[in-house]
Every structure is written in C-alpha cells, then in structure tokens.
Amino acid sequence: MSIVLGVDAGTQSIKVVVYDAESGSSLASASAPLELHQTDSGVAEQHAVWWLQGLGIALAQIAPQLRQQVSAIGVCGQQHGFVPLDAAGAPLIPVKLWCDTSTTAECDWLTEQVGGPGACLAATGNLILPGYTASKVLWFRNTYPDLYARMHSILLPHDYLNFYLTGTCCMEAGDASGTGFFDVRRRQWSEPILRAIDPNRDLREVLPEVAVEPGIAGRLRAPVAAELGLPAGIPVSSGGGDNMMAAIGTGNVLPGRVTMSLGTSGTVFSYADRPIVDDLGEETQGQIAAFCSSTGGWLPLLCTMNCTNATELARGLFAADLNAFEQHLQASPRGARGVLAVPYFNGERTPNLPQGKACILGLDSQNMQPDNILRAAVEGVTLGLRTGLDRLAALGIDTEEIVLTGGGANSPIWRQMVADVCNAPVTILQDSEAAALGAALQALAVSSGKELVEITRTHLRRQPSLCCAPEAAAVGEYAELLGNYGRAVAQVCALYGKAAL
C-alpha cells in the first residue's frame, strides 16, 4: 500500500498529513491546537499528554476508511524539549520546550564547568545555549532531586510520540544533536558534557542508542492503533526534529539547496556531507548550530526565536486580520519609512540574548503608522534570517536557491521580501506542510526500501506561480538596510546585557 501518515508535533499545534505515493498527492490533512504555559520569567512548558490528546483530535478529523489504509507512520516534533520518564514510561514533570529561556544560569554554569565556549565546541560542535536540552537536565537535577533520582529515560518530544506509538525508547542523530550533549562529529553522546551535568551518574544509561541512518523505530501497538483508528503493527519510522523533517519535505537532502522556515521560530539550514562547526571568531562562534540531519548527513542551521510570533504580536496590536496585514505591508515602502524593528519578543538565540526585548527604532511624527510598524516587524525578522545565510556562506555553504516554508510563506509580499533581502530566488513547493510531509516521505522511504533522494526528487513539486526572483533595485535598498539593522542589533545587545555578535 502506498498511503503513509506524517505527524508534526509543533509548539502551537499537532498536524497530520495523509500522503498517497501512488498519486503523488496529499489526500487529507488536519490539525489540533496546543496549549502553551509561558511566563515572564522565561518558562515555556507543555504537558506531554497534550500532544497525545492533540494527535487523537487531529486524526479524528480524517475519514475512518482513509485512516485504515495507512501503511506506515513518520513523526517529527519541536526540538530540544526535555521529556524525563520514570520506569513505567510516565513523564515526571511538564516538558520544558525549545523556547524556554529560564535555565540561562544553568547554561552559563555548564559552559564554565566544561572549560568555556571553545571547549564546548570541541566537545560537541555546539555551544550550550538556552533552549537546548542540556541545561534543562541540570535544572531538573537541582530543582527536583527526588524526581530526578527516579528518571529512567530521557526523550525528546518526537521520541515521546514514537514511544507512545511503539513502546520503544529510541533517538536519531538529527534530533539528538540539538540536546547540547551530543557530539555531532562522532555522532555519539558527549561524555564531558554529561559528566558536567551529573558527575555521579552515567547519564548514558538513561539515554537511548542513537540511529545515524533513518530506519524503523518500531511498530504501532494494538491498543494505540484502536484508539487512533489506524492498522495495528504498521511500521513507525525513526522520524526526527521538525527542522530535519522539513529538510526532507523541501528536498534539502543534497548540498546546494537552502531551506528557510517562517514558523513560530525562523530557521535557515542546508544539507552538508560533512560536519559544519561554526568556530569562526572567538566573539561570534557558534551562531550556526552544527546539527546532524536525519538522513545520514549534517544540517548546519541558524535559528531565531522570533518569526511569525513577532508578526502575530504586531498584527494583534492593530487588530489586523491576514487580509488587512497584507494590505498594511503593501502600503508601506521598503524600509518602512525609516521604522526599524528588532523583534526579540521572546529573547533571542541568534544572537544569544535570552533576556533580550523587542525594540522599535526610528519612529517620528510622520512615520508612526500601523503600515510602517507592521512592515518593520516583517523586515526585522527577515533581516535576522539573512545573517544566517551570510554566516553559512562564511562556512563554505552558498545559497543557490531558497525553498521557503512555514506560515509566513503564505504572504506574497513576504515571499518577495525574502528574495530581495537574501538576493536569491525563492521556491514554493505545492505542499506547504513541509515537516509533516517530510515525516511521511521518510516513512515511505523506510517502508518501501527506496532512497530518500529519489523519493524527494519524485514527489516534491514546485508552484511556479508563487516562486519569485530578486529585484535589483530592492536588493540594493535592503543591502543598505541590513547595515542599519546590524547597528540596531548591537544597541539592543548592549542594552540587554550582551555584547553584539
């Protein structure tokens, strides 16, 4: 059978896509919203049971007869979340998420214990940043020692869904590389980081073995199959982090293509056939995360913590629906009449500014209008992502084409802005749910025995009418604005306690 299911457990919702390999099309899709507990102190948490409930709600929207035709499942999820389980497989605490910045002190302490940023890069290829899993484990050990002593397994969000589906604890290299304690060069757990987290306990005993190549995580348990209306015993692929599956869902499985995701967070990443460790310059190193891919390679990536969340907040300020939002963007010229936004509403990862705040600069009596403030928010997000392309180029990865995905890609003006700011052609694919589709395509590859490169070449199609090329005049204007944006970021970094990167 050719029908596969892709599941994407995001921050705001659970999405499912039913894909038919024979027709090369998605037969159905659905989603269920997720709650998010977030505080002013940087806490961002969800209960793992919310994901299971959301999966059930989303799948219930798919016709029962279609669900019964599913032959394989692939799961992806938000990265970095910390899911500690007891011996019975029950979560011990609410899940601290990727956008949780409350463990900044633990990050600093761990970095110092390991020997500084350079030593962290040598040990794992990555810095220990707020949001990564490492500091959450240390926080758990310090805050809840009794519960920590009962910890039997450490999983990540998509791993927990795989565990629910199959009863098997497993991990794969792509998602594991976002923990902060995984050596991306050797693709194994980093003993120096794990010893720093707990010198009295070998944490490798509570971590699963890591699969480097995609494979089968397990088979769907009969009780879960009955709950979800799916066939029992079908294979569940190893899956991966949302960015790793979005790489598959945008054909980013060979060098030369860059994916830009305009979701709650913003990401820029590209496949590499070797580890790409960002050790350029003592003050600026580690901006690019040296992640592994979920396809046997590597996936150097820049992540900004503020993307569509920034534009949603700006829209909310003026009660602008999506149609009005697009009209506002159209009414304001490039450069937003001098208004410049640094959109660090949730702190920021790149630059590493967990206590950062959003700032709007350049306002005067003539330009303080909704059009300009909304345009500046979108431009600020996009200029921040452009710095990721520049950093990738410095590391030897050029941008020949940007495949755009995520909610922001639905905006025609934003799509053109990406092409102009980045001076690169922008491609839009027919299926906009790149992460869920990527998970489905991985499941198809694993269950059929076909190569992922061939799978993506066969099944991913462009939407020519939505693709766009950079406009020469706009490229020049945004090149000048990029310099102003960099100077604004430096001021915000100085204001909120970190030297500019």
Do residues 381 and 407 both lie within one domain? Answer: no
Residue 333 included in any domain: yes
* Inter-residue contact 270 to 257 (CB < 8 Å): yes
Rounded Cα–Cα distance for residues 73 and 458 (Å): 19
Shortest CA distance to 253 belongs to which of 215, 213, 289?
213
Does residue 273 share a domain with residue 327?
no
Strand locations in 311-387, DSSP E? 340-342, 359-361
Note whether residue 501 is domain-resident.
no
| Structural domain count, the chain | 3
206 and 301 share one domain: no
pLDDT, residue 499, reads 44
200 is a domain residue: yes
Helix (H, G, I), strand (E, B) or coil at 341: strand
Q: Which of 175, 242, 278, 371 is catalytic?
A: 242
Residues of the chain with pLDDT under 70: 1, 498-501
State which residues form the domain around 328: 308-387+472-495
Peptide linkage before 300 cis (omega within 30 of 0):
no
84-96 burial, b for 16+ CB within 10 Å, e for fewer? bbeeeeebbbbbb
What CATH number should be reported for the domain holding residue 372?
Answer: 3.30.420.40
> 221 and 138, same structural domain?
yes
Q: What is the pLDDT of residue 1?
A: 59
Q: Which of 421, 424, 399 is nearest to 475 (CA)?
A: 421
Whether residue 386 contacts residue 486, with contact meaning beta carbons closer than 8 Å, is answered with no
Beta strand segments in 246-313, E:
258-262, 266-270, 289-292, 298-304
Distance (Å, whole) CA 7 – CA 294: 15
Among candidate residues 215, 243, 271, the one where a domain is terminated: 243
Q: What is the pTM of this model?
A: 0.92
For residues 290 and 146, membership in a common domain is answered with no
Instruction: Mark whether 54 and 168 lie in a shared domain.
Output: yes
- Contact call for residues 21 and 449 (beta carbons, < 8 A): no
In a domain, 321, yes or no: yes
Give yes or no: residues 300 and 312 share one domain.
Answer: no
* Cα–chain center distance at 421: 22
Cα separation, 489 vs 493, whole angstroms: 6
pLDDT computed for residue 498 by the predictor: 52
| Pair 379, 427 in one domain | no
Same domain, 369 and 330: yes
Question: Looking at the structure, do residues 29 and 52 belong to the same domain, yes or no?
Answer: yes
3-state SS assignment for residue 441: helix
The Cα-based distances of 390 to 129, 177, 254, 323, 385 in angstroms read 21, 23, 20, 32, 9
* Per-residue pLDDT, 280: 84
In this structure, are 70 and 125 located in the same domain?
Answer: yes
Residue 242 annotated among the catalytic residues of the structure: yes
Considering the domain architecture, whether residues 314 and 297 belong to the same structural domain is answered as no
Q: How many Å apart are CA 196 and CA 398, to the nearest integer?
A: 36
Q: How far is residue 151's CA from residue 179's CA, in Å, rounded to a whole number?
A: 17
Backbone CA torsion sign across 303, 305, 311, 312 = positive
Contact 241, 303 (CB under 8 A): no
Residue 500 placed within a domain:
no
Give the 3-state secondary structure of 46-106: ECHHHHHHHHHHHHHCCCHHHHCCCCEEEEEECCCCEEEECCCCCECCCEECCCCCCCHHH
Domain boundary (196, 212, 243) is at: 243
* Residue where a domain stops, chosen among 193, 216, 243: 243
In a domain, 366, yes or no: yes
Distance CA 477, CA 334 (A): 8
